[in-house]
Amino acid sequence: MKKLFTIMALIALTVGSIGLSSARQSSASKAESVAGVFDYYLLTLSWSPTFCLTHKDDPQCTGKGYGFVLHGLWPQYAKGGWPESCPPLTNLSAAETAKGLTLFPTKKLLDHEWSKHGTCSGLGAMGYLDEADKAVAAVKIPEELQPFSSSYYFEAQEIADLFRRSNPGIPSDGIAVICNGPELSEVRVCMGKNLQFGACGKGVKTQCRAGDIRVPPSR
């Protein structure tokens, strides 16, 4: 019986040590997110009609006819992953919110993107929004992917090629096409801290099925 108690005590000590180690690892991971410490940006453009298929009550889905909208400008690490929610966390002022709403389709998305990603830019809120504005302006949306009234079908590589033809500076490894099931969801463009097109880091790649994918019409 004494031997059994000894074994149980050792198991409890081991489990406790593992839990403490995991907590320390989690804490260390959070501590790694430092404002301004990242390698490049990922400009993420969302195809609004696909988002609206499952979010019909969202303010951007009320007949505004959006095509691509700004999802976010995300600081990234070249080796994979990204910082997030970098301290100090601050709310947007009225002036910053007004600026943000000229870029993002809804206040909810604006607040989320600033809190999770913008805080890690190290630029402050207005600086981050100015950077997002410049990033969006630097990418020309292909004519074939402007808002339209009926569905179109492309392969993911065709969509990437359309963007690269409209933006010759985007390298072959500098863009990723993301799908939500059979529909186009997002196009992600990799940009340096100077907002010049560049190669994507580890883990950023196209995520779509083979063959044609549907690009739903604007609402």
Active site residue 113: yes
Helices (H), 32-89: 48-54
Instruction: Quote the mean pLDDT of the chain.
Output: 89
The single residue of 84, 96, 113, 183 carrying the catalytic annotation is: 113
Whole-number Cα distances in Å, 183 to 120, 154, 174, 188, 217: 31, 10, 21, 15, 11
Residues in the chain: 219
The single residue of 117, 131, 183, 186 carrying the catalytic annotation is: 117
Domains and CATH numbers, the chain: 41-215 (3.90.730.10)
Q: Which of 42, 41, 51 is nearest to 179 (CA)?
A: 51
Q: Are 169 and 112 in contact (CB under 8 A)?
A: no
The single residue of 71, 131, 183, 186 carrying the catalytic annotation is: 71
pTM attached to this predicted model: 0.85
Q: For residue 182, give the 3-state DSSP assignment.
A: coil
| Structure-token pair, residue 169 | 């500076």
Over residues 142-199, the pLDDT tens digits come to 999 999 999 999 999 999 999 999 999 999 999 999 999 999 999 999 999 999 999 9
| Structure-token pair, residue 75 | 């600081």
Q: Are 42 and 209 in contact (CB under 8 A)?
A: no
Q: Are 191 and 40 in contact (CB under 8 A)?
A: yes
Active site residue 131: no
Active site residue 55: no
Over residues 81-136, the pLDDT tens digits come to 999 999 999 999 999 999 999 999 999 999 999 999 999 999 999 999 999 999 99
